[in-house]
């Protein structure tokens, strides 16, 4: 909402009063980081990321779960490294006082910290998905003995 108001105000001021909001585009770029990357974990939780649906939908349910686990297990270490590197970049930007090029001197570390936080949430979501996917895999071994499938000994103990 804030990004929309900023851009709308910028355009209206520019065409009506021939004035503009300084560094409106830079602010918009930095806000876009939060809009996109803070939504990654939510999209993963809702399973709305882009998939190869025409192939995936033709698989049976147990095979879909296996492929889900495989994809998430591959993605987790990759995004773990990305998260680490983005965190190091955010710390470096804070340490050296990195700023955006433009009319105003906008520090970049807050946007990089939001980027890191979005990736961190995504990695946490991937870890949750790995854990939940392993629990849903079809069992290939002997049935577990639990209270519901244990046979009662003769004599009614």
- How high does pLDDT run on average in the chain? 83
pTM of the model: 0.75
Range(s) of the domain holding residue 26: 2-136
Domain-embedded: residue 145: no
Domain-embedded: residue 102: yes
- Report helix angle 109-136 to 61-96, nearest 10: 160
Q: pLDDT tens-digit profile of 112-129?
A: 999 999 999 999 999 999
Q: pLDDT tens-digit profile of 74-101?
A: 999 999 999 999 999 999 999 999 988 8
- Predicted local distance difference test score (pLDDT) of residue 90: 96
Domain-embedded: residue 62: yes
Length of the chain (residues)? 157
The Cα-based distances of 43 to 39, 53, 92, 113 in angstroms read 6, 16, 29, 20
- Predicted local distance difference test score (pLDDT) of residue 60: 85
Question: How many domains does the chain divide into?
Answer: 1
How many CB atoms lie under 10 A from the CB of residue 40?
Answer: 18
């Amino acid at each position: 909402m804030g990004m929309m108001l900023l851009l709308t105000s910028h355009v209206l001021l520019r065409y009506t009063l021939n004035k503009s909001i300084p560094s409106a585009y830079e602010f918009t770029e930095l806000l876009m980081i939060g809009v996109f990357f803070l939504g990654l974990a939510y999209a993963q939780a809702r399973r709305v990321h882009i998939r190869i649906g025409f192939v995936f939908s033709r698989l049976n349910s147990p095979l879909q779960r296996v492929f889900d686990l495989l994809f998430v297990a591959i993605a987790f270490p990759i995004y773990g490294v990305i998260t680490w590197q983005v965190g190091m970049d955010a710390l470096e930007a804070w340490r050296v006082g990195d700023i955006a090029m433009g009319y105003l001197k906008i520090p970049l570390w807050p946007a990089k910290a939001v980027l890191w936080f979005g990736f961190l949430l995504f990695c946490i979501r991937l870890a949750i998905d790995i854990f939940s996917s392993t629990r849903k895999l079809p069992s290939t071994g002997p049935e577990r003995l639990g209270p519901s499938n244990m046979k009662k000994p003769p004599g009614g103990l």
